[in-house]
């Protein structure tokens, strides 16, 4: 059994698969880490954690500074789980990092070509009804025992990577529908992502400070201060819901 100072990867995995139930004070929606990082972070097409530990600390353009693994996890807590960050030096973080460390030596798959097609929202609505609603609900609210929310108050925030159309389309193309993950074309994946992302979801306070060097990717759904200062075109505003918990116990 691993010592406390090294962290307990088994307990860490339990937190990653039941985040909201384990840490109700930090819960911001109905997702868990492994809702997106499928198969406990080992599915190659689903934002894998294979080899991730070796990639940090790493400079990242979204925050504009070098992030350690703890901060990267807190970013997914604050944005993807619309939750409240946890202390970097605490036991819960140490155990989640220990799980990431257990995958450090696993070889990282080649990145998939991102799907950067313009999405057609009307086609995407039809596609959602045909391919997704049976599990994720007609109103994107999720179905207990089948699948979590894809929009609304229980879904990821607008500041999440999954709220970017290219990221979501690429995830869908290779992983959804969950039980028939090869049926969508690139265009259908782009259309469905575009439709889902026109629906309301929780805000992410401070998002206007993202990409401080003025280089937001083309599918970022909100205005940033630096892009505005650089005179870049601003994306169309999306409908936002009020935030349930503040992410910001640990701002930098
Ligand atoms: C709504 C989907 C979603 C959920 C839920 C989610 N993440 Fe993520 N996560 C992402 C996306 C998208 C990325 C960016 C992947 C990329 O950079 O290609 C990411 C990236 C990461 C990375 C960086 C991996 C690397 O190799 O750079 C880590 C670590 C991570 N997430 C951990 C977590 C943890 C821990 C949780 C739960 C507290 C969580 N994520 C919940 C979508 C999600
Ligand atoms: C057979 C049921 C099923 C179908 C159909 C299905 N999904 Fe999923 N989906 C799942 C399950 C199960 C997960 C992972 C949940 C977990 O482990 O917490 C998931 C996860 C997701 C996620 C990441 C977590 C979240 O809720 O944001 C997204 C986004 C998603 N699905 C979108 C879609 C879209 C869009 C379609 C239609 C193309 C679709 N799914 C079809 C069952 C399904």
Ligand 2 pocket check for 15: Cβ under 6 Å: no
Q: Which atom of ligand 2 is nearest to the CA of 179?
A: 1
Q: Is the peptide bond before 215 cis (omega within 30 degrees of 0)?
A: no
Q: Which residues of 154-190 are buried (b: 16+ CB within 10 A; e: fewer)?
A: bbbbbbbbbbbbbbbbbbbbbbbbeeebeebeebbbb
Q: Which two tokens stand for residue 148?
A: 């979590």
Between the CA of 2 and the centroid of ligand 2 the distance, in Å, is 34
Ligand index nearest the alpha carbon of residue 175: 2
On the question of pLDDT at 156 being above 50, the answer is: yes
Average pLDDT in the 176-200 region?
97
Distance CA 163, CA 116 (A): 14
On the question of pLDDT at 250 being above 90, the answer is: no
Signed CA dihedral, 72, 74, 75, 80: sign only: positive
Distance CA 45, CA 98 (A): 22
Between the CA of 206 and the centroid of ligand 1 the distance, in Å, is 19
Distance of CA 147 to the CA centre of its chain: 16
Between the CA of 33 and the centroid of ligand 1 the distance, in Å, is 7
C-alpha atoms less than 13 angstroms from C-alpha of 176 in its C-beta half-sphere: 26
- pLDDT tens digits for 23-64? 999 999 999 999 999 999 999 999 999 999 999 999 999 999
Could you tell me the end-to-end alpha-carbon distance of the chain, in angstroms, rounded to an integer?
Answer: 35
Q: Which atom of ligand 2 is nearest to the CA of 134?
A: 5
On the question of pLDDT at 4 being above 90, the answer is: no
Q: Please tell me the predicted confidence (pLDDT) of residue 5.
A: 61
Ligand index nearest the alpha carbon of residue 179: 2
Instruction: Using the structure block, give the residue that is written with the tokens 């290219």.
Output: 166
On the question of pLDDT at 219 being above 80, the answer is: yes
Computed over every residue of the chain, the mean pLDDT equals 95
- pLDDT tens digits for 87-139? 999 999 999 999 999 999 999 988 889 999 999 999 999 999 999 999 999 99
Q: What angle do CA 149, 162, 49 make, to 5 degrees?
A: 105
Between the CA of 146 and the centroid of ligand 2 the distance, in Å, is 9
Q: Please tell me the predicted confidence (pLDDT) of residue 3.
A: 43
Ligand 2 pocket check for 51: Cβ under 6 Å: no
Distance CA 21, CA 153 (A): 17
How sure is the predictor about 249, in pLDDT bands with cuts at 50, 70 and 90?
Answer: low
């Amino acid at each position: 059994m691993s010592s406390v100072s090294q962290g307990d990867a088994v307990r860490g995995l339990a937190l990653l698969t039941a985040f909201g139930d384990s840490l109700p004070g930090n819960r911001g929606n109905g997702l868990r880490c492994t809702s997106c990082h499928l198969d406990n972070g080992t599915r190659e097409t689903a934002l894998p954690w294979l080899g991730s530990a070796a990639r940090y600390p790493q400079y990242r353009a979204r925050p504009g500074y070098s992030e350690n693994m703890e901060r990267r996890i807190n970013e997914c807590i604050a944005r993807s789980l619309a939750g409240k960050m946890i202390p970097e030096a605490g036991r819960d973080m140490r155990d989640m990092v220990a799980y990431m460390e257990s995958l450090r030596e696993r070889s990282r798959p080649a990145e998939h070509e991102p799907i950067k097609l313009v999405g057609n929202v009307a086609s995407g609505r039809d596609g959602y009804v045909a391919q997704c609603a049976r599990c994720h609900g007609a109103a994107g609210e999720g179905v207990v025992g089948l699948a979590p929310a894809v929009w609304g108050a229980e879904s990821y925030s607008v500041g999440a990577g999954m709220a970017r159309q290219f990221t979501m389309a690429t995830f869908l193309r290779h992983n959804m529908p969950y039980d028939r993950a090869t049926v969508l074309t690139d265009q259908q994946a782009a259309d469905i992502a575009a439709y889902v992302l026109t629906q309301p979801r929780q805000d992410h306070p401070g998002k206007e400070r993202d990409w401080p060097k003025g280089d937001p990717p083309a599918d970022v759904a909100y205005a940033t201060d630096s892009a505005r200062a650089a005179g870049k075109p601003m994306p169309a505003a999306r409908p936002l819901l009020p935030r349930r918990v503040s992410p910001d116990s640990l701002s930098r």
